[in-house]
Amino acid sequence: MPRKLIIFDLDGTLVDSYEAIQDALVHAVTALGGVPWTPEETKRRVGRGLEVLMEEAVGEANAAEGVRLFRERYPRVFLEKTTILPGVAEAIPALKARGRTLAVATNKPSDFSRRILDHLGLGAHFDLVLGPLDVPRPKPHPDMLNRIMADLGFGPGETLYVGDMTLDAESAANAGLPCLLVATGGHSRAELEATGRPVLDSISQLLEWEEP
């Protein structure tokens, strides 16, 4: 059954922002005397928010300074080093044209997320973009998804959530939502399939799932 509201994760689902995140992470970790992860390892660890990422990268004692250093660098590089994922530029306008209401729920601060979406020509298609500072708790807690449904006037039976990580499957389950996962982010297809949720190779395949 077509869903009236589709909520998307951002990083790894709609956009490839890993180069920008890696750039800022390297800046922070090396400034603190550490050895940065490889880009592949960073890609796997992104998704639970900056504070968690930095605590894992530099340890609890240095996490606050790591966050400060990351935030010092990220605004300088995030637009030029973030790109739209294949199929997204076609799928999002097509879903909007079919009458779907679209939103974003991401553990990236919403001000950066909106600027990225606007920069990539996607911003006008989304009715609401929320991040971790807009709700009491970040994903995988259901606060963000529940807030979007409440603000836009839809219930779980009318809503679909789309993400790229096992965290997204957990988030959807906590909100009582059906979920599709797309294998374009930090987790392999096998890891995503282990959640029991349907897995797409590209966001463009969503057009086949969400028929007019």
Which stretches within 59-179 are classed as H helix?
Answer: 63-77, 88-97, 110-119, 143-152, 166-175
CA dist., res. 125 & res. 7, Å (int): 12
205, two tokens: 């395949």
Secondary structure of the chain: what % helix, strand, coil (to 5)?
Answer: 50, 15, 35
Helix (H, G, I), strand (E, B) or coil at 5: strand
Q: What are phi and psi of 15, to 5 degrees?
A: -135, 155
Positions annotated as catalytic residues are: 9, 11
Nearest-CA neighbor of 153 among 32, 50, 4, 1? 4
Cβ proximity of 148 and 130 under 8 Å:
yes
d(CA 127, CA 30): 39
Q: Which amino acid, residue 181?
A: L
Pick from 124, 123, 125: which is nearest to 114 by CA?
123
